[in-house]
Each structure stands twice: as structure tokens, then as C-alpha cells.
Amino acid sequence: MNNIKVPHYDAFSPYPNKGNPAGVVLDAAHLSESDMQAIAHKVGFNETVFVVSSDVADLRLKYFTPGHEINLCGHATMASLFALKTKGILGEAGSIKIETNVGVLPIQFSMVTS
């Protein structure tokens, strides 16, 4: 568990350290919930999100504060999906479904041009 990389993403801002911070663990399938909790506590952000597999959706997101698991977090969701998309993990998918503790949510990606 000591070699887990937890990239820091700032949701809702193009500037480092100016958005809502979230830690993102992209490959968390091998981690237990107690591991996830310990990592979130060590990272210290308001939320750290863990990407795991799902039997009912394309993937599952699990959200932890330093003290406990929470059901859903908007900025951690945005951070994890941005990471997955920009690293090519989701390929060319225009939409996916994510499983959370509040249910399965549809996600639609769109390209924004300036």
C-alpha cells in the first residue's frame, strides 16, 4: 500500500491549487475499504476518489474523506473522469455509466473548444 500514487487534481479550475482539490486513485481494485480510508486520511484532501470495477456500470467510484466514506462527491467525480479521459483509459467513449453509493449515474462527455 505504500507505493500507491495519488495524483492531485483541481476540479473547476484550469489553475493549479485554485480549484477544489481531490486525490484520484485510478486503479484501486486491489485495495480494501480500510486501505482506501487509510490512504484518504494520509492524503488529507476533503475527498479522495478510488476507481474500481463494477458489475452494473462501466466503473465504480468510491469516495473517502480523511474520516469516513461518503456516498457521492461532485468535484472528485469530475477529477476522476477528467483523469480517466485524458489518460486515454476511457478511449473514445462519448458516454459511460458510473456506479456510486447513490446508484448508477449516466455520464456524457462533450468536447469544449475555445
Range of the domain at 100: 8-108
47 flagged as catalytic: yes
Residue 57 lies in a domain: yes
Active-site entry in 33, 47, 69, 99 = 47
Tell me, yes or no, if the pTM score tops 0.85: yes
Domains held by the chain: number: 1
Residue 77 lies in a domain: yes
pLDDT band, residue 16 (cuts 50/70/90): confident
Could you report the per-residue pLDDT of 46-71, keeping only the tens digit for each?
999 999 999 999 999 999 999 999 99
Strands, DSSP E only, in 1-114? 8-11, 20-25, 48-52, 59-64, 69-70, 95-100, 103-108
In angstroms, rounded to a whole number, what is the distance separating the alpha carbons of residues 21 and 111? 23
Interstrand relation of 69-70 and 48-52 (parallel, antiparallel or unpaired): unpaired
Residue 1 lies in a domain: no
Residue 3 lies in a domain: no
Q: In this model, does residue 108 exceed pLDDT 90?
A: yes
Higher pLDDT, 3 or 46: 46
Helix (H, G, I), strand (E, B) or coil at 13: coil
User: What CATH number did the domain enclosing 79 receive?
Assistant: 3.10.310.10
